Amino acid sequence: MDRVTAKPRLATAWLGGCSGCHMSFLDLDERLIELARLVDLCYSPIADVKEFPEGVDIALVEGAVANEDHLRDLRLIRQRSKTLVAFGDCAVTGNVTAMRNLFTVEDVLQRAYKEATVVSGLPTGNEIVPKLLNRVLRVQDVVKVDHFLPGCPPPADAIYGFVTDLVAGRTPAAEGRKFGA
């Protein structure tokens, strides 16, 4: 809990994915105003705090684990969050992000930059650009996951129900969710 506001601290993070789950979160529309009353959004790609903070109550993690930065970030998120939710199909199953597992990293990179004029080499992992993992992993392959919220993306209603359940200390209900929703 935030010491000042005494509201639960909500964080959202984005690993290897399309941001569609975050967009579905924004599809709460005016319920975002309601949510602002219920929680303190302490970390998110739509906010300016640069480092994942300590003492997070609920962390929604979108995306699969595709590079070394994701590994590092996810471990930190787990360490600093009471409840970690695998948010959307890429986090839950690897989904589209993991489709590159059918190929080697080299083949995937070669293909993407094949047509390009290579000026200073391929971005294959250096001081600035993180190294891609050989295999894209699910969130649960790296850390313990407390809840799974599937969907590509999860519908806004499901997100709202899930988060308000967690905020109220209830176990989020799973009914009403279907494959590919």
> Smallest distance from the beta carbon of 171 to another protein, in angstroms?
26
Closer residue to another protein (CB): 107 or 170: 107
Closer residue to another protein (CB): 21 or 71: 21
Residue 9's nearest CA partner among 50, 54, 44, 39 is: 39
> Smallest distance from the beta carbon of 39 to another protein, in angstroms?
9
Q: Is 63 left (phi over 0), alpha (psi -120 to 50) or beta?
A: left
> Smallest distance from the beta carbon of 122 to another protein, in angstroms?
6
Q: Distance (Å, rounded) from C-alpha 170 to C-alpha 181?
A: 23
Closer residue to another protein (CB): 49 or 174: 49
Residue 153's nearest CA partner among 64, 60, 63, 88 is: 88
* Cis ω before 153 (30° cut-off from 0): yes
Strand 147-149 and strand 65-67: the pairing is unpaired
Interface residues toward another protein, by CB under 8 A = 14-24, 26-27, 29-30, 32-33, 36, 41, 44-51, 63, 66-67, 69, 95-97, 99-100, 102-103, 107-109, 111-113, 115-124, 126-130, 132, 152-153, 156
> Smallest distance from the beta carbon of 153 to another protein, in angstroms?
5
